[in-house]
Structure 1
Amino acid sequence: MDKKVVLITGGSSGIGKSVGTYLTEKGFKVYGTTRNPDNYPDFDSFELVQLDVKHPESVSNAVSEVISKAGRLDVLINNAGVGITGPVEETPHEEILNVFDTNFNGPVHMMKAVLPQMRKQGGGLIINTTSIAGYMGLPFRGYYSATKGALNIITEALRMETKKFGISITNLAPGDFATNIAAGRYHAPVTKGSAYEEEYQRSLDLMNEHVDAGGDPMVVAKKVYQIIQKKKPKVHYPVGEFTQRLSLVLKKILPDRVYEKLLLNHYKL
């Protein structure tokens, strides 16, 4: 059988690069995407394709390019995303629109673009990279949580709509991993005299500590490989430290106010 063809958005660095490198080593034909391939002249882990997930025409061109080169598309990994922090009240609206355009609309554009090819083939797999943060409203990360929560829910819906076509769609929810997302994350400024000044700064420091101490992205890559091997992938796959995965269990079993109290204590609010 020919190699399975995998397309990974945001494949030039971080989790996307780790996943692409690992799958290439495992014998897959991998295409990664980046907005500016010219910025990576020495990149040789796998082939990079130009793509900006926010623009449907760019999405269509990239998907067509991969199908033209490979003849098929077996796995889409929606990995491209941006981070955002800030008080809900003080985050600029244009930044809210940008994070939804990238983290939610982008994956939707991608799924719409690949589904016709997957139906034509009689099957395929889409892995949407959400986040453990998408299962709960985190203080000063509300908009990020909202984008990932929205992607989580749309995946559940689309999974049922496409089941009869032999297409599997699943959520992969990483916790904190050592990537460059913090460097590219939008931070609403800590405003002197703001009603949120002290709490936001404290939460920001805590978030940065967690990212700096994050796990090896190769853990995510191995989980992706395991999911691809499954005949019937589950709806949700959280991946991260035990305490992060435990937070999802507690979210399900604890009363809302008790769980909220745990978060308030964690973020010292």
Structure 2
Amino acid sequence: MSKVVLITGGSSGIGKSIGEFLTQKGFIVYGTSRNPENYPDSQFSLLPLDVKDVKTIEKTVSTIIEKEGKIDVVINNAGAGITGPIEETPEAEIKANFETNFYGPINVIKTVLPQMRIQNSGLIINITSIAGYMGLPYRAIYSASKGALELVTEAFRMELKGFNINMTNVAPGDFATNIAAGRYHVPLNEVSPYLKPYGNTLDLMNAHVDSGSDPNMMAKAIFKIMNTKNPKVHYKVGAFMQKFSIVLKRILPDTVYEKLLMNHYKL
């Protein structure tokens, strides 16, 4: 029987690429979107789900189980970007970002685990970010929310070992998607002391996304992981230098690494 896959945030970007690739490989794919009716041409089924609303998570998971009798793989892909000086970032926006990037995936996991225990099998893949391995200037909240999910996954894996359920993180670098258009960013303020450095950093971040890797690279990586008997704890997918930046953080003194980041962002 074909494996049943649930992908949160499947209407665009990385989630859409993964869904289309897995559909072509013969998997039964269910993606989610807050407004699936806006994507009538999707190559796979899209169900309504908002990761900030537990009731929609429970309804969508129940719908899939009723129809398919199982859920083999869950890909927590739904996420939101956020940029800005920490001092000027509204508390409500900080909380909203964690609701989407951290609490959302946890609630999806909690909802699917009872079914996976019944099956005595399952794979959960959390899409995090290379940004979650370091505190990036003007992306601190995003880095923190993705880094938190990385750490929770490490603990979750050990708690689930006895149920034959695997979990892993996949941290992408910059990919050519529309994430920049959908993220919250603190407006550039002419009287802000951060105006120039934040503006320069924002331009650089947007350029990185525009010149990012093909999202199909992520789809192929996910497919490979799904066919791995014992997935690793962490995977990184993206340009060499972005992945290598994590290695540098491990081996360089903190202040040296900090200087490299500041030079990169021209701070």
TM-score when normalising by structure 1? 0.98
Q: Deviations over 1:24-46 (max 9, x none)?
A: 11111100000111111232x11
Structure 1 residue aligned with 2:262: 264
Cα separation, 1, equivalents of 2:111 and 2:141: 26
Cα separation, 2, equivalents of 1:16 and 1:41: 16
Cα separation, 1, equivalents of 2:135 and 2:18: 28
1:48 is paired with a residue whose SS is: strand
Cα separation, 1, equivalents of 2:214 and 2:41: 23
Alignment of 1:84 with 2:77, yes or no, is no
> Which runs of 5 or more residues in structure 2 are unaligned?
none
* TM-align CA RMSD: 0.6
TM-score when normalising by structure 2? 0.99
Deviation at 1:97, TM superposition (A): 1.1
Alignment of 1:192 with 2:185, yes or no, is no
- Percent identity reads 64
Structure 1 residue aligned with 2:111: 113
Structure 2 residue aligned with 1:8: 7
Deviation at 1:191, TM superposition (A): 1.1
Q: Deviations over 1:112-139 (max 9, x none)?
A: 0011111110010000000000000000
Structure 1 residue aligned with 2:41: 42
Could you tell me which of 53, 56, 59 is aligned with 2:57?
A: 59
> Which runs of 5 or more residues in structure 1 are unaligned?
none
Cα separation, 2, equivalents of 1:124 and 1:12: 23
Give, as a single letter, the amino acid of the residue that structure 1 aligns with 2:30. Answer: Y
Alignment of 1:19 with 2:32, yes or no, is no
Alignment of 1:99-138 (within 5 A): 99-138=97-136
Give, as a single letter, the amino acid of the residue that structure 2 aligns with 1:163. Answer: K
Cα separation, 2, equivalents of 1:69 and 1:130: 29
Q: Count residues with an aligned counterpart.
A: 267
Deviation at 1:190, TM superposition (A): 1.1
Deviation at 1:49, TM superposition (A): 0.7
1:138 is paired with a residue whose SS is: coil
Cα separation, 2, equivalents of 1:225 and 1:53: 23
Cα separation, 1, equivalents of 2:26 and 2:48: 23
